[in-house]
Amino acid sequence: MADFLLGRANKVKRIEPPIDLFELAKIQRVTAVDLRPMLPTGGLSRRSSGFWICIQDLRRTQPIEVAVGSPVEDRPRLTTRQRFTMAHELAHTLLFDTSDPPQPRAGCPKGAKLEALCHRAARRILMPPALVTAEVAKREKLGARDILDLARLFDVSPEIALWRCDELSAVRDSDRVVLYVRKSFSGADEIAGFFCSSWFQDRKGRPELGMPPAKWLSGLVDESFWSDPKATSMFSDVKEEIGITRVPFAKTAHFIELELRRPDDSSRASDRVNGDPV
Ligand SMILES: [Zn+2]
């Protein structure tokens, strides 16, 4: 249904990153978006015809209502967190019919299942498959810098960019892992996002969100790796070599890139002239 909505938007105006969520809102009969200081991150109400979306905005003391049809320059800029919330609420609207007021479609999931479904749809709305695949295809190998580029281009958080890349066959079939590591509330490092190729998944298991990176990397790096913010390390055994690099990002976050270097990589490198594939 998310793809159907994107398809409809594409007929009105060619969609390109970053996705204009207000254009999608118009199609979904959302009349206004309210930015307000409130506890929940977002909410959706039905009106006599259509919907009304509320988005948490703790920078404001008073709510403001943004008309969906207002020009881009008249709308307040949403943070990546708010864009995700808006995409999530738009996903909820897909589960209603077109009557006045809209009625829930039959057979819709409920509770946690429904929220998980809307999260998934939100990621797909913010980073549509065809646009992500096209952007990834422009890059020879995906690394931390590419994730930051994609996050900027699609106006999403690095977590969402990683999540969508992890769903691509180009990543599954690659020889790479990128972990996004952030400090938790307790100050400990935890994995906050990742993409992981099948090769690494088969060998190390799938990383888990919230897991300490040292746990997933056990056996590949030693203590000294963690003391230097720009540390690189090389793990090798008889069969393979794994290059491991830390890429600083912010005071409280960094990326860790892992790359499998097979023995025939040197021959692949010789197929290049000045770094460009030939
Ligand atoms: Zn929800």
Distance CA 220, CA 245 (A): 12
Mean pLDDT of 128-157: 94
Residue 52 · residue 105 · CB < 8 Å: no
Task: Name the residues around ion ligand 1, CB cutoff 5 A.
Answer: 115, 118
**What's the CA-to-centroid distance between 89 and ligand 1, angstroms?**
6
**What's the CA-to-centroid distance between 100 and ligand 1, angstroms?**
21
**What's the CA-to-centroid distance between 118 and ligand 1, angstroms?**
6
**What's the CA-to-centroid distance between 149 and ligand 1, angstroms?**
28
Mean pLDDT of 208-224: 93
Kindly tell me if the per-residue pLDDT of 144 is higher than 60. Answer: yes
Confidence of residue 263 (pLDDT cuts 50, 70, 90): low
Residue 144 · residue 160 · CB < 8 Å: no
**What's the CA-to-centroid distance between 169 and ligand 1, angstroms?**
28
Residue 127 · residue 154 · CB < 8 Å: yes
Percent over 70 (pLDDT), the chain: 94
Kindly tell me if the per-residue pLDDT of 267 is higher than 90. Answer: no
Classify domain 129-277 by CATH number: 3.30.450
**What's the CA-to-centroid distance between 112 and ligand 1, angstroms?**
9
- Residue range 84-128, pLDDT digits in tens: 999 999 999 999 988 888 888 888 888 999 999 999 999 999 999
The pLDDT score that the predictor gives to residue 270 is 42
Q: CATH 3.30.450 in the chain, residues? A: 129-277
The pLDDT score that the predictor gives to residue 2 is 84
Secondary structure E strands in 91-188: 176-183
- Residue range 51-63, pLDDT digits in tens: 999 999 999 999 9
